[in-house]
Chains A and B, each alone.
Chain A
Amino acid sequence: GEDVEQSLFLSVREGDSSVINCTYTDSSSTYLYWYKQEPGAGLQLLTYIFSNMDMKQDQRLTVLLNKKDKHLSLRIADTQTGDSAIYFCAETAMDSNYQLIWGAGTKLIIKP
């Protein structure tokens, strides 16, 4: 079945770039998403990318997609303390009734 994997933790210094990685198994994935979850809160959509794209940039966020390796990354430039959160990668495939398949989330820790 489909599976999405992420590292559980990432620690970076304030002001550095953060790169959060994700791998997925479903080759029919059409859209891939990054969501952010702060403690006790719901999921906030950060960005998404269509599977025929390689890269998408939105202000401090850059998404890279390597479809051959089924690898997705999220780069956050100039990481700030407000970026502390859990980041989830998710995919959807047209043959799965549009349900989202999620990774377990990467907790981003910011060091001063």
Chain B
Amino acid sequence: ETGVTQSPTHLIKTRGQQVTLRCSSQSGHNTVSWYQQALGQGPQFIFQYYREEENGRGNFPPRFSGLQFPNYSSELNVNALELDDSALYLCASSSGQENIQYFGAGTRLSVL
């Protein structure tokens, strides 16, 4: 059984560019959640996908968008990057009512 994997591990972009982050969910999990973790803070919920549909969204602007594919893998897209978007982006997969979320190692995004 493979765990949650994210790619790339590190990324450097400049302000105004666009970025796509990828996540493969754990086998058997149909729900993927994305979080942003700024340095020294707890994660902030971006959105969640369940069976290819957005199933909840945090307080993030529309330039943060996502997709979930039939195999339950997911993408996070961020347009018009801003310096404050520099953070660790975490993906978690889950299944079932207990909502036990298992996390990948994250993608460290730096916006210059």
A-to-B contact residues, CB < 8 Å: 4, 31, 33, 35, 41-45, 48, 50, 88, 90, 92, 96-105
Query: Which residues in B have some Cβ–Cβ distance to A below 8 Å?
Result: 31, 33, 35, 40-45, 48, 55-56, 58, 90, 92, 94, 98-106
Tell me the total A-B contact number using a CB cutoff of 8 A. Answer: 60
A43–B102 CA distance with the chains assembled, in angstroms = 8
Q: Which of B43, B44, B56, B104 contacts A96 (CB 8 A)?
A: B56
**Would A97 and B55 count as touching, CB distance under 8 A?**
yes
Is B33's CB under 8 angstroms from A100's CB? yes
Q: Which of B31, B44, B101, B103: most chain A CB closer than 10 A?
A: B101
Instruction: State whether A98 and B104 are in contact (beta carbons under 8 Å apart), knowing that A43-B43, A43-B90, A104-B41 are contacts in the complex.
Output: no
CA distance in complex: A42, B88 (Å): 9
B33: A residues at CB distance < 8 A: 99-100
